[in-house]
Structure 1
Amino acid sequence: MSNAKKRHLTVLVVDDNASMRAALRGIVKADGHDVVGEAAEGKTALTLIRQMKPDVVLLDMMMPVMDGMAVLTEIKEAGLDTTVLVVSGNQDQALIQQAFSLGAIGYVTKPLNPGRILKTFEQIAIVRKPRDDRPADAAAESSGRRCVIVDGDAEVRGLLKTLLGGENVEVVAEAGDGMQGLVAIEEHRPDLVFLDVDMPELDGLNVLRCLRAVHPDLRVIMATSRAEGEIVKEALSQRVAGYLLKPVDAAKLIAAVRKALGKP
Structure 2
Amino acid sequence: MARVLIVDDAKFMRITLSNILKKANHDIVGEAETGIEAVRLYRELKPDLVTMDITMPEMSGLQAVKEIKRDYPDAKIIMCSAMGQQKMVVEAIEAGAKDFIVKPFDDSHVLDSITRVIG
Structure 1 length-normalised TM: 0.43
Question: 1:79: which partner in 2?
Answer: 72
Deviation at 1:10, TM superposition (A): 0.4
Unaligned runs of 5+ in 1: 1-7, 127-264
CA distance in 1, matches of 2:10, 2:46: 23
From 14, 31, 43, the counterpart of 2:24: 31
SS at match of 2:110: helix
CA distance in 2, matches of 1:125, 1:57: 11
- Are the counterparts in 2 of residues 11 and 54 from structure 1 also a CA contact under 8 Å? yes
The answer to whether structure 1 residue 113 and structure 2 residue 94 are counterparts is no
Aligned 1:69-218 pairs, distance under 5 A: 69-126=62-119
Amino acid at match of 2:85: D
Question: 2:44: which partner in 1?
Answer: 51
Amino acid at match of 1:21: R
The answer to whether structure 1 residue 41 and structure 2 residue 47 are counterparts is no
- Are the counterparts in 1 of residues 81 and 89 from structure 2 also a CA contact under 8 Å? no
Q: Which has the larger radius of gyration?
A: 1
Deviation at 1:90, TM superposition (A): 4.7
Deviation at 1:123, TM superposition (A): 1.8
Question: 1:12: which partner in 2?
Answer: 5
CA distance in 2, matches of 1:90, 1:99: 15
CA distance in 2, matches of 1:67, 1:19: 18
- Are the counterparts in 1 of residues 81 and 102 from structure 2 also a CA contact under 8 Å? yes
SS at match of 2:4: strand
Question: 1:231: which partner in 2?
Answer: none
RMSD over equivalenced CA pairs, Å:
1.3
CA distance in 2, matches of 1:91, 1:71: 20
- Are the counterparts in 2 of residues 37 and 48 from structure 1 also a CA contact under 8 Å? yes
Deviation at 1:125, TM superposition (A): 3.0
Question: 1:203: which partner in 2?
Answer: none
CA distance in 1, matches of 2:31, 2:72: 21
- Are the counterparts in 2 of residues 11 and 56 from structure 1 also a CA contact under 8 Å? yes
Which has the bigger relative contact order, CA under 8 A and spacing at least 6?
2
Deviation at 1:44, TM superposition (A): 0.8
SS at match of 2:78: strand
Deviation at 1:9, TM superposition (A): 0.4
> 4+ runs of 1 displaced by more than 4 Å?
none
Aligned residues: 119
Structure 2 length-normalised TM: 0.93
Unaligned runs of 5+ in 2: none
Amino acid at match of 2:110: I
